[in-house]
Structure 1
Amino acid sequence: MTRIAIIGGGPGGYEAALVAARLGAEVTIVDRDGIGGAAVLTDCVPSKTLIATADVMTTFEDAPELGVRIGDDAARCVTGVDLARVNARVKALAAKQSEDIAEGLAKAGVTVVHGAGRLADGGATVEVVTPGDGAGKGIVEKVAADAVIIATGARPRELPSGRPDGERILTWTQLYDLDELPEDLIVVGSGVTGAEFAGAYQALGSQVTLVSSRDRVLPGEDEDAARVLEEVFQRRGMRVLSRSRAASAVREGDRVTVTLEDGRTVQGTHCLMAVGSLPNTEDLGLDAAGVERTPSGHILVDRVSRTTAAGVYAAGDCTGVLPLASVAAMQGRIAVYHALGEAVWPINLKRVSSNIFTAPEIATVGRTTFNAESDDPKFDVVKLPLDTNPRAKMLGFHDGFVKLYARPGSGTILGGVIVSPRASELIHPVSLAVDLHLTVDQVASVFTVYPSLSGSIAEAARRLHREEE
């Protein structure tokens, strides 16, 4: 029986463990922070639970257009949130998800050791420091392994000039301890995390200022999609400061002052620092085991999750491949298949679908204008505004679009971008088309419900066919 040791209990770790156990391996997970990792306990699950409440608030905001009135004001909906209850629900759901995963691991026969793990004996064993007797001394154990998978994730990056205090200056892991809604929230960072929380808190009732060092929100995403979202943010009352790099964040009593590099200042009651993340790759014995890292500290891996050390694999945010829970899980599964000699398909990032949980959501898959021009500039593209869709009109959806990319001649679908409420659900048929190399004619010939938002996907495919003619 092959022995597999996994350091880290996040998606890359627990998915690898479940697959390995099913294939008959003896599996041990060394976990320090809680089964499920940051994805379940402090990132994906809690943030999307919070955003679910924000989505309800956005629905209420748009309700008058549909003839719905809530409260005493005939012109607008009068609503509010109890942030303490919202955050209690957030943390309860995260804890329950962690519990469910741990239960699944136990049923599969996976051994879970709580403690800090590191490579030892050149990667042949995992040294574990488990909690001691309360006297400050840990107990050192060793877990022998034929293969080791490192899945230690990442943590929020902190600015030396803006250290979080957990009360007024916060990272995204600390937001769920707030009992009262921030009156004036400054969000530093306009990437995915910053945009999601800025939009969520704006919907919950905070006055939000979004500080972006780049010329637009979501600089790493489709430009058309980012433009739509920024326009929506501003229309809803958000203050967006572009080309405004933060130099420092200082708390002064119950206020926070963010100073920009050009000398301007922004004041608020709270500040969220969303300035990226750092891989958890310190004190893992990587250098001694021959595991190379990139200049950013991420573990260097190939497409089957191998590191530069024999028998040592890595998965998830500690590798820097693509910071998505789905990618971490796939990397972990691929590592197990390779380690156990099973058939394995190297990871293909061009088939990965992703979503930004703003309002509207932004979902992408495959090649787009943003990521395809450099290596494959030849593609056809059609963009259909969402407000031309009959179902969208009925639901009161105005902002967004469906955009498809296809290869000239063959009509093979290369990718797509969807900006819409619940775009995360709508992107799946485009993902199938990309993964199965379907053509625009094949997608266009499939029946869709009338009226439906998904009808715009088929319509975009028909438009691409007409352009080829």
Structure 2
Amino acid sequence: MSSNNPSTDRVVIIGGGPGGYEAAHVAAQLGAEVTIVDSDGIGGSAVITDCVPSKTLIATAEVMTEVEDAAELGVSFVDPEGDQAARVVVDLARVNARVKELAAQQSADIQRRLERDGVRVVRGRGRLSGPQQVVVELADGGSETLAADAVLVATGAAPRTLPSAQPDGERILTWEQVYDLTEVPESLVVVGSGVTGAEFASAYLALGIPVTLVSSRDRVLPGEDADASAVLEQVAVRRGMNVLSKSRMESVTRTGDRVTVTLTDGRTVEASHCVLALGSVPKTHDLGLEEAGVRVDEGGFIKVDRVSRTSARGVYAAGDCTGVLMLASVAAMQGRIAMWHFLGDAVAPLDLKKVSSNVFTAPEIATVGWSQQAVDNGEIEAEVVTLPLAGNARAKMQGVKDGFVKLFCRPGTGIVVGGVVVGPRASELIHPVSLAVAESLTADMLAHAFTVYPSMSGSVAEAARRLHRF
């Protein structure tokens, strides 16, 4: 890339998360001069404080769960003296040190890839001073003005807090602050039963911590498949989690080394620590959006179309700051689509019905395409089959009793339009269903592909066979 070439398109990206760095790779590949303005660290919250750290913590929790269930498979643990079972404990300081190290490594790897592609990274906080200009307050002092033919805003989001529930970073924590813990909490309250709350509650329960989950809704994971969330809640309660449904938090206060969560009905829950999982707010304040003609909604999220365009010509947006669907994979795709569109490459608009997602609880819950709720509401006509994993030979070998595969297909054509997988590594098992949805494969096509025997994926093919019609 040469900045002296007047015909070279200049792209400035504000934010170095998945939406930003994936857009940078595409723009560089297509010959643009690319600058990323980053204030939080390359990789953004997805790599530094959210996805990578949380899933690293969850990986440790998975090991603890497997150890806990090992006796059923004939494996026991004894101390060096002989016949007494050894107690398995977690060293949270070491776990969190590893979490931070892996996050830093991933961030450094992404930075190296950007440098290899010729992308310039500027440390500082950028804001629009018009649709084709970005002013950067440099981290080292001073400022720099960057001219741009296109600007991509990918500033992400931050944990939502309330005046009555303010984190202190020690006992009352957001999900970005939990990795500073060096001692295992004596007990824990998680406020919020969405994806983030459910994941942390499940992980810390597996690490041997007594957990109370405060849910304002009638079930955990209200946005997920109802059958899937029912399985998760049953497993969590069986393993000792205290789930308080239809319980809205009023306030969270700390006295010494104790935290009290007060509910709107007057009940209180005490613990040594509290994790707040109250959703996210977009980081769109003071970015010069209004002056540049970029419209935001009442929640502060940037309004974009399916090719990531904002209301201002030449300004695109991607990721959590758009509120489209808060997944790193969606942020990355929005960023790529923005650059494909601006630089004239072939582009398909974002299709949320082809997005696969996963909740990293125990068991995991993976989904893609149309949902059971959409079918029940009459939004789409589909045939549905649900196959419990308990009958799968590999599941029996591994001691897996909970979970299922659910497929949705169109009557008549048999085209697969959605699916749900609940079980260990559901994030991997959803892929064949995701391919079927993306490529409009029929249930018969999915059924006729060979699967390994024995394997969990055999249940995907078996569910597809049950959708066969003469």
TM range (shorter): over 0.9
Tell me the percent identity. 67
1 CA distance for matches of 2:376 and 2:127? 42
- 8 Å CA contact 1:63, 1:77 repeated in 2: no
Are 1:12 and 2:19 counterparts? Answer: yes
Kindly provide the CA deviation profile for residues 353-377 of structure 1, in whole angstroms up to 9, marking residues without a partner as x.
Answer: 0000011100000012124444633
Cα deviation for residue 159 of structure 1 reads 1.3
Aligned to 1:289: 292
Kindly indicate whether the alpha-carbon contact (under 8 Å) linking 1:71 and 1:79 is maintained by their aligned counterparts in 2.
no
Unaligned runs of 5+ in 1: 133-137
Equivalent position of 1:357 in the other structure: 360
3-state secondary structure, aligned to 2:134: strand
Please tell me whether the aligned partners of residues 387 and 398 of structure 1 are also in contact (alpha carbons under 8 angstroms): yes
Q: What's the secondary structure of 2:320's corresponding residue? A: coil
How far 1:317 sits from its partner (Å)? 0.2
1:450 offset after TM fit, Å?
Answer: 1.0
- 1:93 corresponds in structure 2 to 102
Q: Which residue of 1 aligns with 2:115?
A: 106
The DSSP-based 3-state class of the residue aligned with 2:144 is strand
Counterparts in 2 of 1:19-58, with a 5 A limit? 19-58=26-65
Partner of 2:271: 268
Report what 2:413 is aligned to.
410
Aligned partner of 2:246 in structure 1 is 243
CA distance in 2, matches of 1:282, 1:266: 35
Distance change >3 Å, CA 371–CA 325, structure 1 → 2? farther
Whole-angstrom distance in 2 between the partners of 1:378 and 1:74: 59
Which residue number corresponds to residue 394 of structure 1? Answer: 397
For 1:359 and 1:77, how far apart are their aligned partners in 2? 24
Q: Alignment partner of 1:381: what SS?
A: strand
Contact 1:127 1:140 in 2 (8 A): yes
Distance 1:75 1:388 in 2: 34
Alpha-carbon distance in structure 1 between the residues aligned to 2:325 and 2:378: 19
**Mapping for residues 229-378 of structure 1, pairs under 5 Å:** 229-374=232-377, 376-378=379-381
Residue 61 of structure 1 contacts residue 76 of structure 1 at CA under 8 Å; is this kept in 2?
Answer: no
Is 2:433 aligned against 1:430?
Answer: yes
Q: Note if contact 2:128-2:289 (Cα within 8 Å) is conserved in structure 1.
A: yes
* Structure 1 counterpart of 2:106, one-letter code: Q
Distance 2:171 2:234 in 1: 28
2:165 alignment counterpart: 162
In structure 2, stretches of 5+ residues that fail to align are: 1-7
Are the counterparts in 2 of residues 64 and 75 from structure 1 also a CA contact under 8 Å?
A: no
1:19–1:336 Cα contact (<8 Å) kept? yes
Count of residues paired in the alignment: 461
Distance 2:85 2:439 in 1: 46
| SS of aligned partner of 2:467 | helix
Deviation at 1:286, TM superposition (A): 0.3
- SS of 2:368's partner is strand
Give distance in 2, aligned partners of 1:189 and 1:76.
Answer: 36
Rounded to whole Å, the distance in 1 between the matches of 2:85 and 2:20 is 47
Shift of 1:192: 0.2
Letter of the 1:356 counterpart: V
1:59 is aligned to 66
Q: Paired residue for 1:130? A: 138
Matches within 5 A, 1:106-255: 106-120=115-129, 122-132=130-140, 138-255=141-258
2:166 partner letter? R
Match of 1:444 among 443, 447, 451: 447
Once the two structures are superposed, residues 379-434 of structure 1 have per-residue CA deviations (whole angstroms, 9 ceiling, x without a partner) of: 10000011010110000001100000000011100110000100001000000000
CA contact 2:374–2:380 (8 Å) conserved in 1: no
Name the counterpart of 2:5.
none
Residue 263 of structure 1 aligns with an amino acid whose one-letter code is G
Q: How far, CA to CA, are the matches of 1:377 and 1:348 in structure 2?
A: 16
1:42 is matched by which residue type in structure 2?
A: T
Query: Paired residue for 1:135?
Result: none
Counterpart of 2:424 in structure 1 is 421
Displacement of 1:139:
0.8
| CA distance 1:398–1:74, change in 2 (3 Å) | farther
Looking at structure 1, the residues matched to 279 and 374 of structure 2 have their Cα atoms a distance apart, in angstroms, of 20
Partner Cα distance (1:351, 1:67) in 2: 41
Using structure 1 for the length normalisation, give the TM-score.
0.97
Distance in structure 2 (CA, Å) of the matches to 1:131 and 1:418: 45
Give the match's secondary structure for 2:313. Answer: coil
1:125–1:144 CA contact under 8 A, matched in 2: yes
CA distance in 2, matches of 1:447, 1:329: 31
Q: SS where residue 427 of structure 1 aligns?
A: helix
1:407 partner amino acid: R
Amino acid at match of 1:51: I
How far does residue 184 in structure 1 lie from its aligned partner after superposition? 0.6
Quote the offset at 1:348 in angstroms.
Answer: 0.3
Root-mean-square deviation (Å): 1.2
Letter in 1 for 2:75: V
Give the structure 2 partner of residue 80 of structure 1.
Answer: 89
Per-residue CA distance 1:213-246 (angstroms, 9 max, x = gap): 0000000000000000000000000000000000
